[in-house]
Structure 1
Amino acid sequence: MNASFFLCIFKILFSCSSRITAIMSKSLALQLMESYVQRTGAVASATTPGLPRYLWTDSFAVMNFLALQKPDSAQAIIQHVHQVLARQRSEKYPEKYLDGASDDHPTLGGLRIGKKLDERQPSDPYDRDLEWDRDGQYFHYLTKWMWALDHAARCLHQPTLNLWARELAATAHRKFTYGARQKRMYWKMSVDLSRPLVESQGHHDPLDGLITAMQLQETAREVGGQATGPELEEVVRDYLEMVQDGQFTTTDALGLGGLLVDAGRVEELIRRGRQEISAGTSQLRIATTSALLDRLLSCSLSGLKAFAHCEFDEKESANYRLAFRELGLAIGMNVVKALWEEPQFAGSDAAKKALNDIAAFDYVREKIVGFWTQDVNRKGKTYTEHRDINDVMLATAMLDGVVAASQPKREEL
């Protein structure tokens, strides 16, 4: 027996092992998502809203169910989110939509976060710790929901979902951005979007707004929805000007994962034919999707090196770790894995080099997912206190391609 024979056997065994791992991962992801649905009441057969919704978690849940080929469950969550978070947080007027919204246009008033406590009133003193538990509207949660709606629009061939996402994008841009010569953004707004609750700008909010708006524009062109609803050209230009410093680097696990996911979304935009970000902006430092992708991967690599070498402690107890933040990075690394394996990668030579360097840190993803798939680690206090968001993001991290560029075909759903 020669070396070629043994190499062939090894490849067969490796392939079988990979398939078994994928099947087991999909099985656990499905269990986690089914438990989530039962806990939160978002079942397809329900005619009224279940328990309170949380926008970030439900955004990932929609994409998870589409990846699991359960479109009815994805659409049920969309329905419940709009029934609950697009309406006033009021016992007196529980059916009243946020300003401007309606059954036909549920996102025109934005969407509440879904926090446990009411929003801070103008007369209430600011309490930084308490603010985390108060309701309102977060821009970065709204962009996640835009993305989920757009993803569903493409998977299910439903242009209305893209329209709702574009209407939400236009509302968010109008209410969260301010300033004449130099635009800035508020991080958190009141439920009715009339006043800022936290005035500081989120590190990646303009970036998320830019990429999401471009994505919505491309989908509108593809599904034939561009004739109706906001075109988002002004939205794209404003956010583009706000990201010109290119200072995206972060060592926060969740922020890093978001950067990597954004890189995947921009690479997909390039393959969808989007080269110029906005007409008449060629003089800008970041004017093309290729230049943006280069910058995203460069910043991601810098942050990932620092995180892996200085901040990531794989031996730390589950009681001192926040699963959803680590899993955000694992989800981003899944996107890197998909890009690295993509034979038609659309990035520049510099992007390819950065991608190869980032792929070398895939062991971080493996360690994170491996740690949180162990039952004993999901029984810790920090996990159970945030079970919904942790379970849903763990499911996302275990499902290849949930947030990667490839889209399931209609017949596969």
Structure 2
Amino acid sequence: MIEELMIEFARRTGLSPATEQPRRYLWTDAFAVCNFLGLHDQTGERKYLDLALALVDQVHHTLGRHRPDDARKGWISGLGEAEGEHHPTIGGLRIGKKMNERAPGDPFDEALEWKRDGQYFHYLTKWMHALNRLSRVTGDPTYNRWAVEMARAVHARFTYLPPSGGPRRMYWKMSIDLSRPLVPSMGQHDPLDGYITYNQLQLCLPEGETDPAAVDLGNEIRELAEICRDRNWATDDALGIGGLLTDGWKLAQMMIQCGFNQPGLLTTIVDSAAAGLHAFVLTEPLRLPAPYRLPFREFGLAIGLRAMERLHRSTCQQPEQYESHGRLPEVVGRLRGYQSLAGEIEAFWLDPLNREAATWKEHLDINAVMLATSLAPDGFLSL
């Protein structure tokens, strides 16, 4: 089933066989890279690693360049052709929306903004994670260095000090060339996503990396730590809860494998996710029929619950690693009561009748790829 979902995704979006104008979307493609790496690990087949490598190259040459319907041409970073090939992510990457971004001076339209191109920080961090995973699988530091270059570039544009004073903040959405904010409000989990991902890029290195200065994100990490200070991460949104749970397992792996040392943060994140999950379940959203549900958001929660399965197993098998984490094992144990939700979500959307709903068909690529991630999550969840 998983191989079928991913091979069909590759065919449908112009990855394999490759087409001149492939359909690339950054969030979906980040999960897809990790899924192909997972399939490579599970099957030992080289074709899945080749698909991951081809997808990274196609994303950079599609979303790292201006749109075909844009008067601007070339790399969105402004680099020349040859230099852009060596630094394809240094200008960030487009979201991949169907409509071009809002032009300077055009009025803001909230409904249209969801359909317009630009750059989202939380999509960029997903791509950084995918590049780090690819780098660690192949041993080639190039991919992780591209992720670090992107982190430095987008951090400088997404974060800012308000002119009126006060703590540093972040924009939700930036223009394609990172020259202006398109949505000035701050995403609830964007600073946390960045903080964890930057540490991952700096600490969880491929075997071939020999230059610590090439992956130094110390200044960026300090600035995001400032934004994260005393913030409330709790949410009752399925995708947001799933992201917190996934971050929790990522942090646990980083502490055991990569030397990350902030035990209080892991407990805070898991505690926030537990509170949000309790609120989510009380509203009974999984009882609604398919036309009133968004599969990819539910799969985000299911993936997070799969991450918690792994964290619970780790706390039981390696209790000495969590001695400084206070009540973490207790909170993780409580979350076990929600584990069945992951299977319920997957079974609902594996039913062909439910996949006839517009909510499945209109977001087919992201739904299919995240279903594959939920069914076989280690490609995405493992560091």
Normalising by the residue count of structure 1, what TM-score does the alignment of the two structures yield?
0.85
Distance in 2 (alpha carbons) for counterparts of 1:80 and 1:93: 21
Residue by residue, what CA displacement relative to the aligned partner does 1:132-180 show, whole Å, maximum 9, x if unpaired? 0000000000000000000111111111000000001101110100007
How far off its partner does 1:99 sit?
Answer: 1.9
How far off its partner does 1:226 sit?
Answer: 3.4
Q: What is the match of residue 59 of structure 2?
A: 81
Aligned residue for 1:294, secondary structure, equals helix
Answer yes or no: is the 8 Å Cα contact 2:201–2:215 preserved in 1.
no
User: Match for 2:244: what amino acid?
Assistant: L
Q: Give yes or no for the alignment of 1:399 onto 2:376.
A: yes
Distance in 2 (alpha carbons) for counterparts of 1:128 and 1:92: 22
CA RMSD of aligned residues (A): 1.7
Q: What is the match of residue 362 of structure 1?
A: 339
Distance in 1 (alpha carbons) for counterparts of 2:230 and 2:171: 18
Distance 1:55 1:226, change over 3 A: same
Distance in 1 (alpha carbons) for counterparts of 2:206 and 2:351: 44
Match of 1:110 among 92, 96, 105: 92
Answer yes or no: is the 8 Å Cα contact 1:100–1:108 preserved in 2.
no
Q: Give yes or no for the alignment of 1:41 onto 2:14.
A: yes
Aligned residue for 1:126, secondary structure, equals coil
Distance 1:100 1:216, change over 3 A: farther
How far off its partner does 1:273 sit?
Answer: 4.4
Distance in 2 (alpha carbons) for counterparts of 1:49 and 1:242: 42
Show the 5 A alignment for 1:9-408. 28-43=1-16, 46=18, 49-69=20-40, 70-91=48-69, 96-101=74-79, 102-179=84-161, 182-220=167-205, 223-227=208-212, 229-276=214-261, 289-308=262-281, 310-342=282-314, 343-344=317-318, 346-347=321-322, 348-405=325-382, 407=383
User: Match for 1:369: what amino acid?
Assistant: E
Distance in 1 (alpha carbons) for counterparts of 2:283 and 2:52: 36
Distance in 2 (alpha carbons) for counterparts of 1:400 and 1:186: 30
Distance in 2 (alpha carbons) for counterparts of 1:205 and 1:388: 24
Distance in 2 (alpha carbons) for counterparts of 1:271 and 1:92: 46
How far off its partner does 1:222 sit?
Answer: 5.2
Answer yes or no: is the 8 Å Cα contact 1:323–1:372 preserved in 2.
yes
Distance in 2 (alpha carbons) for counterparts of 1:404 and 1:185: 26
Structure with larger Rg: 1
Residue by residue, what CA displacement relative to the aligned partner does 1:233-258 show, whole Å, maximum 9, x if unpaired? 00100111111114100000000000
Distance in 2 (alpha carbons) for counterparts of 1:212 and 1:369: 27
Distance in 2 (alpha carbons) for counterparts of 1:299 and 1:195: 32
How many residue pairs match? The answer is 364
Distance in 1 (alpha carbons) for counterparts of 2:197 and 2:102: 29
Distance in 2 (alpha carbons) for counterparts of 1:225 and 1:121: 43
Distance in 2 (alpha carbons) for counterparts of 1:90 and 1:50: 9
How far off its partner does 1:219 sit?
Answer: 2.5
How far off its partner does 1:322 sit?
Answer: 0.3
Distance 1:68 1:275, change over 3 A: closer
Distance 1:193 1:250, change over 3 A: same
Structure 2 portions without partners, runs of 5+:
41-47
How far off its partner does 1:272 sit?
Answer: 2.0
Distance in 1 (alpha carbons) for counterparts of 2:64 and 2:258: 34
How far off its partner does 1:49 sit?
Answer: 4.7
Question: Percent of aligned pairs with the same residue?
Answer: 42
Answer yes or no: is the 8 Å Cα contact 2:141–2:208 preserved in 1.
yes
How far off its partner does 1:230 sit?
Answer: 4.6
Distance in 2 (alpha carbons) for counterparts of 1:92 and 1:354: 50
Distance 1:273 1:389, change over 3 A: closer
Distance in 2 (alpha carbons) for counterparts of 1:327 and 1:60: 12
**1 or 2, which has the higher helix percentage?**
2
